[in-house]
């Protein structure tokens, strides 16, 4: 099996795992990964994470031209914005995960630091998550908003829509977006209960110990 064939299989396996655990439902969500030649493999538009076909993934060459597979997700501008602004991005995942979407609707969330510091793992895997405003699905302005961050964030939350996360490879991106949803779930479960979050000193210690990229 070639390297690309293995990557195609891995994308579909990880997508199905997230679908099976209810992290994104129906035909929602999209996923992409860099190929060794600088191209991209992308989930096609209107497809379910539970039933992706490795042979039908949209294949782009290094110049951004679709060369095989089905029509790509209509949210390609989100993906290309991360790849174009973050040199370390090897994969991008976008979900419609319920708890993170619910948290994005709350009136008192911090747009510059969307996730509360309830555990060290959200900090380690995601750093600071930027909450972006609501955009109509497929609006290219979503990509413009990500580009406006100039590569300083690996994860953003689209209000009333869902998270999108870039990682060094497909497994890292999937792990990070799952951590985002888990942290949002904790935030919603403990909302109004005055949970004991990490202190500023503890957050700084996590950032230092695990060399977290922390954009002020």
What is the spatial distance between Cα 175 and Cα 52, in angstroms, rounded to a whole number? 19
Give residues with Cβ within 8 angstroms of 3, minimum separation 6: 36
Q: Check: CB of residue 135 under 8 Å from CB of residue 54.
A: no
Q: Does the residue 216 lie in any domain?
A: no
First to last CA, the chain: 44
Quickly state the pLDDT bin for 216 (edges 50, 70, 90): low
Q: Does the residue 215 lie in any domain?
A: no
pLDDT tens digit sequence for 77-125: 999 999 999 999 999 999 999 999 999 999 999 999 999 999 999 999 9
Answer left, alpha or beta for residue 120, where phi above 0 means left and psi between -120 and 50 means alpha: alpha
Task: Give the chain's mean pLDDT.
Answer: 96
pLDDT tens digit sequence for 154-211: 999 999 999 999 999 999 999 999 999 999 999 999 999 999 999 999 999 999 999 9
Q: Does the residue 80 lie in any domain?
A: yes
Domain count, the chain: 1
The angle that helices 3-20 and 170-189 make with each other, rounded to 10 degrees, is: 10
Q: Does the residue 104 lie in any domain?
A: yes
Catalytically annotated residues? 121
C-alpha 141, offset from chain centre: 17
Q: Check: CB of residue 58 under 8 Å from CB of residue 122.
A: no
Q: Whole-model pTM?
A: 0.96
Q: Does the residue 35 lie in any domain?
A: yes
Q: What angle do CA 152, 150, 107 make, to 5 degrees?
A: 65
Q: What CATH number is given to the structural domain containing 127?
A: 3.40.225.10
Residues spanned by the domain of 115: 3-209
Length of the chain: 216
Q: Does the residue 214 lie in any domain?
A: no
Q: Does the residue 164 lie in any domain?
A: yes
């Amino acid at each position: 099996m070639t390297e690309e064939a293995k990557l195609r299989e891995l994308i579909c396996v990880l997508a199905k795992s997230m679908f099976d655990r209810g992290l994104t439902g129906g035909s929602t969500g999209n996923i992409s990964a860099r190929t060794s030649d600088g191209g991209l493999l992308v989930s096609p538009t209107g497809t379910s994470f539970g039933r992706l076909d490795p042979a039908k993934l949209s294949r782009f060459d290094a110049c951004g031209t679709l060369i095989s597979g089905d029509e790509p997700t209509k949210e390609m501008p989100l993906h290309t914005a991360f790849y174009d602004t973050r040199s370390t991005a090897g994969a991008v995942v976008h979900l419609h995960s319920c708890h993170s979407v619910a948290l994005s609707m709350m009136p008192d969330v911090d747009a510059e630091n969307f996730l509360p510091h309830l555990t060290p793992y959200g900090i380690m895997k995601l750093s600071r998550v930027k909450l972006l405003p609501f955009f109509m699905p497929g609006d290219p302005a979503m990509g413009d908003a990500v580009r406006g961050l100039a590569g300083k964030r690996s994860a953003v939350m689209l209000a009333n829509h869902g998270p999108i996360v870039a990682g060094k490879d497909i497994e890292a991106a999937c792990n990070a977006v799952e951590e985002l949803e888990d942290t949002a779930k904790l935030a919603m479960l403990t909302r109004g209960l005055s949970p004991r979050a990490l202190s500023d000193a503890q957050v700084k210690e996590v950032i230092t110990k695990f060399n977290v990229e922390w954009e002020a």
